[in-house]
Amino acid sequence: MTHQIHIIGGGLAGSEAAWQLGRRGFKVRLSEMRGTGERSPAHQGDGLAELVCSNSFRSDDHEKNAVGLLHHEMRQCDSLIMDAAAKAEVPAGSALAVDREIFSAEVEARLAALPNVEIVRERIDALPADAPVIVATGPLTAEALAGSIGKATGADSLAFFDAIAPIVYRDTIDMDVCWMASRWDKGETKDYINCPMTKDQYLAFHAGLVAGEKTAFKEWEENTPYFDGCMPIEVMAERGIDTLRFGPMKPVGLDNPHWATPEHPNGRWAYAVVQLRQDNNLGTIWNMVGFQTKLKHAEQVRLFRTIPGLENAEFARLGGLHRNTFLNSPVLLDRTLRLKTAPNVRFAGQITGCEGYVESAAVGLMAGLMASAELAGREWQAPPRTTAMGALLSHITGDAEAETYQPMNVNFGLFPPLHDVKKKQRKEAYTERAKAEIVPWLESMAV
């Protein structure tokens, strides 16, 4: 099949872009290097849209939360990623979490069912000279292509770190010590497994994290900053004795029924808590929330087995540390994500400097719409800045400070401010405004 557009990278962004183009009838070649025997250091399988770390798409609340609003807008644009997430959903309180295997299989099946989308397992090593292409190769873009992008941009790409959290087999967790509950549980959702710690246990654990043997930095990694939402647990621990108790090990709102007394029939709060969240549909594997780490593997097993309830834990996957690469988009890309010096090349996903699964998919969705408009000879209109998609796009393509450009999750700080609205009502005001203002854009784009 001769294609009209080439998409490199079948991750979250590339798959979404291929869907948006393919369902509009354009002929797409989607090249994915996994399946050829090659994988990035973080990917574990060959399926499209693999989630490399957490299985969560974060909050699904579209009334008060920016990423929840982004979910909502993507659904209105017939997003493949959001549709597949709905098919693969697992319980996670107000968050949207998925069984990663079901999710990836659904994305692949839906794309494979489009006759005009050709999925090819191949590694691409260079940017094409003038044919239209969307580069969605992600934070772990293979080396040769990264070199070609470096040459085309003439700029140093930035690199920073991402760390992966360990995953534990459910049947190796001691439920006589741990208990199921969500924070401030009123009985209706008990989605997390909680491991309680006394003060002495916490202090010993904290000391173990700080002293534990870490993966050594390589020379090029010196002074490399961390991906914000994925800071290693031991780096957080180094920031202060209580940093973890106010972060991923926060005990508040978690009554431990094993510690119930006549005065506290529902149980008491622990000094610190380790939480695990269901990672697959079957409920057989659970990830340690916020426990991404660069501790050496043997050290992880030793230290994490000192957590009450995890004394006999078996790990389906241990934590790890990986490179991340992204462009200085505000300088290099135009308002439609095209390389200013080579407009046949459009970027999508995390490589543009957005941050997170949902944001990467959203930028893939917009890149697909931009390319569709271009191929159809129509003018592309950006979503209003007051929407989550518009705010994210504006940040990437011009609003962010080029000199200090860092990957960014969607958040209300990217939206035009609503100073006149009282702080308490502001989040709802942002989402209400976005929902009203996206309507004409959706109509104009005929999405």
Q: Where on the chain is the footprint of ligand FAD (CB under 6 A)?
A: 8-14, 31-34, 40, 42-43, 52-54, 123-124, 136-142, 145, 162, 164, 230, 322, 324, 349-351, 356-357, 360
Residues 389, 382: Cα–Cα separation, whole Å: 9
Q: At its nearest, how many Å lie between ligand FAD and the CB of residue 255?
A: 28
- For 322, the token pair is 């990986």
Where b means 16+ CB within 10 Å and e means fewer, 218-256 reads eeeeeeeebbeebbbbbbbbeeeeebbbeebbbbeebbb
Q: At its nearest, how many Å lie between ligand FAD and the CB of residue 15?
A: 7
DSSP characters over 313-338: --EEE--EEEEEEE--HHHHB-TTSE
Q: At its nearest, how many Å lie between ligand FAD and the CB of residue 418?
A: 27
Nearer to ligand FAD, 118 or 162 (CB): 162
Residue 348: CB atoms within 10 A of its CB come to 33
Residues 410, 146: Cα–Cα separation, whole Å: 25
Residue nearest to ligand FAD (CB): 11
Residues 289, 61: Cα–Cα separation, whole Å: 20
Nearer to ligand FAD, 34 or 110 (CB): 34
The rounded Cα 278 to chain-centroid distance in angstroms is: 16
Q: At its nearest, how many Å lie between ligand FAD and the CB of residue 136?
A: 5
Look-up of token digits 């290693």? 232
Q: At its nearest, how many Å lie between ligand FAD and the CB of residue 305?
A: 23
Q: At its nearest, how many Å lie between ligand FAD and the CB of residue 355?
A: 6
Nearer to ligand FAD, 9 or 251 (CB): 9
Nearer to ligand FAD, 9 or 384 (CB): 9
Nearer to ligand FAD, 138 or 309 (CB): 138
What lies within 8 Å, CB to CB, of 257 at 6+ separation is 179, 266, 267
Nearer to ligand FAD, 15 or 387 (CB): 15
What lies within 8 Å, CB to CB, of 335 at 6+ separation is 382, 397, 398
